[in-house]
């Protein structure tokens, strides 16, 4: 594995009686996209805030490109970009005004700050709106400007804390494209998200955390393989749901879940199942199947299984 650029070891953080992090370990190889997944309150944002020098851990330590986030915070800050759930830009300024101001605060010369602002506006297709006040921007445009601001110094590591929360599909797609481009250019991206399809599409590596600890890591495929393939059955008559469930329970050894009135899904047992057997057994029970198929689990199913939340059972 390439050298890790983001390393966290045994991070602990409490807020009063709440333990946000209980020994979080993290290692992100340079130039990869790491997805940090977890239910609400799992500690994702706390972890990002510590890595981005906004918060200090109670115990444990973290390094960015070899620099300690507490003792060498200044060094860390020149290497990171942070874009968050809020579009953290000045509403009252124009898009260009924001980029120039933040450029100056990143200690670029006036000329450089202006040039970099123009460059980013051009690259992210915001030139037309550059001289309008940000207050009049759409949610997607603001989020894009927020992201552009975090890229002024061409950071080695970019932290994205739920970058597409609340965006429409077009806005989300635009952010995804940007993340892919940045990763292709060699930027390391640490992304927290609640949208599992987002992690599935963008992340090379996923770390699932819950209750402030890592509970699983792997590529999206590895995580899916870990919980096994699924069998989906769609029946013609919803009245046959119960007998169909009985058949599947007998075959798979676990009870299926229902996602619709006429659809059942069950994890395949270790030895696998033959579709022919499934069809024959359903037929014997008098259940007419409209569709029977084997598929890989979605990341949602992996997530629900790992975080111990019950799958929706009707």
Enumerate binding residues for other proteins (CB under 8 A).
15, 49, 52-56, 74, 77-78, 80, 82, 84-94, 97, 101-102, 104-107, 133, 149-150
Place of tokens 């940045």: 182
The least distance separating other proteins from the CB of residue 71, rounded to whole angstroms, comes to 12
The least distance separating other proteins from the CB of residue 61, rounded to whole angstroms, comes to 14
Specify which residues 301 forms β-bridges with.
none
Closer by beta carbon to other proteins, 77 or else 263: 77
The least distance separating other proteins from the CB of residue 261, rounded to whole angstroms, comes to 43
| Burial of residue 186, with CB atoms counted within 10 A of its CB: 0-12 exposed, 13-18 middle, 19 or more buried | exposed
Under DSSP, is residue 112 helix (H, G, I), strand (E, B) or coil? helix
Rounded Cα–Cα distance for residues 70 and 56 (Å): 7
The least distance separating other proteins from the CB of residue 84, rounded to whole angstroms, comes to 6
Closer by beta carbon to other proteins, 146 or else 200: 146
Other beta carbons less than 10 A from residue 257's beta carbon: 19
Closer by beta carbon to other proteins, 150 or else 257: 150
Closer by beta carbon to other proteins, 107 or else 295: 107
- What stretch of H or E contains 220? helix 220-227
The two three-digit tokens of residue 82, written as one number: 């942070």
Closest listed residue to residue 188, CA positions, set 159, 146, 148, 216: 159
Closer by beta carbon to other proteins, 102 or else 137: 102
Closer by beta carbon to other proteins, 92 or else 123: 92
Place of tokens 């429409």: 168
Rounded Cα–Cα distance for residues 166 and 74 (Å): 32
Contact in structure between 146 and 166 (CB atoms under 8 Å) = no
Place of tokens 């000045």: 90
Locate all alpha helices (DSSP H) within 28-165, ordered by sequence.
44-51, 73-77, 95-105, 110-123, 139-150
Closer by beta carbon to other proteins, 87 or else 251: 87
The least distance separating other proteins from the CB of residue 98, rounded to whole angstroms, comes to 9
The least distance separating other proteins from the CB of residue 135, rounded to whole angstroms, comes to 9
The least distance separating other proteins from the CB of residue 192, rounded to whole angstroms, comes to 15
């Amino acid at each position: 594995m390439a050298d890790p650029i983001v390393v966290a070891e045994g991070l602990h953080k409490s807020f009063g009686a709440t333990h946000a992090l209980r020994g979080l370990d993290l290692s992100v190889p340079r130039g990869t996209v790491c997805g940090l997944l977890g239910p609400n309150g799992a500690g994702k944002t706390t972890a990002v805030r510590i890595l981005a020098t906004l918060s200090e851990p109670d115990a444990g330590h973290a390094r960015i490109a070899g620099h300690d986030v507490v003792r060498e915070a200044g060094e860390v800050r020149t290497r990171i970009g942070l874009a968050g759930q809020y579009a953290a830009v000045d509403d009252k300024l124009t898009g260009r005004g924001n980029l120039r101001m933040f450029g100056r605060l990143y200690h670029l010369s006036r000329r450089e700050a202006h040039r970099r602002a123009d460059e980013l506006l051009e690259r992210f297709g915001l030139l037309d709106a550059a001289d309008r006040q940000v207050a009049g921007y759409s949610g997607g445009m603001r989020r894009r400007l927020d992201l552009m601001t975090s890229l002024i110094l061409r950071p080695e590591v970019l932290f994205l804390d739920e970058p597409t929360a609340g965006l429409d599909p077009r806005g989300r797609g635009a952010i995804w494209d940007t993340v892919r481009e940045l990763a292709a250019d060699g930027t390391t991206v640490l992304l927290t998200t609640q949208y599992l399809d987002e992690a599935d599409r963008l992340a090379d590596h996923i770390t699932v955390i819950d209750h402030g600890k890592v509970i699983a890591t792997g590529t999206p495929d590895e995580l899916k393989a870990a919980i096994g393939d699924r069998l989906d059955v769609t029946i013609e008559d919803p009245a046959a749901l119960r007998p169909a469930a009985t058949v599947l329970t007998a075959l798979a050894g676990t009870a299926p879940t229902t996602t619709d009135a006429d659809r059942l899904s069950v994890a395949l047992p270790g030895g696998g199942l033959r579709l022919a057997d499934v069809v024959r057994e359903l037929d014997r029970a008098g259940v007419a199947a409209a569709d029977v198929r084997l598929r890989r689990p979605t990341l949602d199913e992996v997530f629900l299984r790992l975080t111990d939340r019950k799958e929706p059972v009707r």
